[in-house]
Amino acid sequence: MLRPPLESPGARLRELMAQDTVVMPGVFNGISAVLAHKAGAQALYLSGAGITNAQLGVPDIALGTLTEFAQQAAYVTQVAPVPVLSDADTGFGEALNVVRTVIEMERAGLAGIHIEDQVSPKRCGHLDGKAVVAPSDMARKIRAAVDSKRDPNFLVVARTDARGVEGLGSTLERAKLYVDAGADAIFPEGLTSEEEFEAVRRAVDVPLLANMTEFGKTPIIPVSRFRDLGYQMVIFPMTAFRVMLKALDEAFGELLASGTQANMLDRMRTRQELYERIDYSAYDGKDRSWAQEG
């Protein structure tokens, strides 16, 4: 059912982090959020690449706007009653733009956002050819973000892409600087081994986020290992999206080749199964009850 966002989603996410490492499936629209929530996810990650690829059909190179990201965030938080952390690219501009980003994303009902220290237009964190801004410029954005919170529990997560540009040493130094600037958590992107994740853990004493994306520079590492390494959040930004993409390719190809969907029925959710997932009967029931009360 549509519902108002949690009163303090940031506080709820902090509670979950205090209890255990939080597994955060990546979602990209309302229905993906519904399915992840109904599968048992206690928190979600709203993927910037997912929004950009799914809604716009273009590469993740800063072509999505703050308005589009905030709108998708609102769709997600209205249907999934769990805390949602969202990608916010580079903050959609400089420090003053970051202020508006925090205001809009918090108003959308999110638990928090992460902003990254790449030069805009940014690139996927697991591609080469990136550039990073001066550490002091990113620190200024973090201070602006922290100063703009309405809810002190709203998480400002600082992502650094320095590993693939300047090396691990720079990643560690930037992480320390960003913590000093007020970041609530650190997201070291593009690390290449468990040892590097461990080095970041030793360097800072704030919550850490690990990106367990596929086909990138980071090896596949299970959540249990991240728990041992002391990471509070593990995101799987495009896992479901990539599975969906392959299924769509296969379905469209088969439909166009054969002219019928007859051989695909056993790979579909039925009409009833779809209605169950989107709570169709609950909407009907509410509508009838309001009519009867009149």
Give catalytic residue positions: 45, 60, 87, 89, 114, 116, 124, 159, 189, 211
161-180: b or e for each residue (b if 16 or more CB lie within 10 Å)?
A: bbbbbbebeebbebbebbbe
Give me the residues paired with residue 114 across strands: 87, 157
For the chain, the first-to-last Cα distance in angstroms comes to 22
Residue holding tokens 């519904």?
34
Tell me what percent of the chain is helix, strand and coil, each rounded to the nearest 5: 50, 15, 35
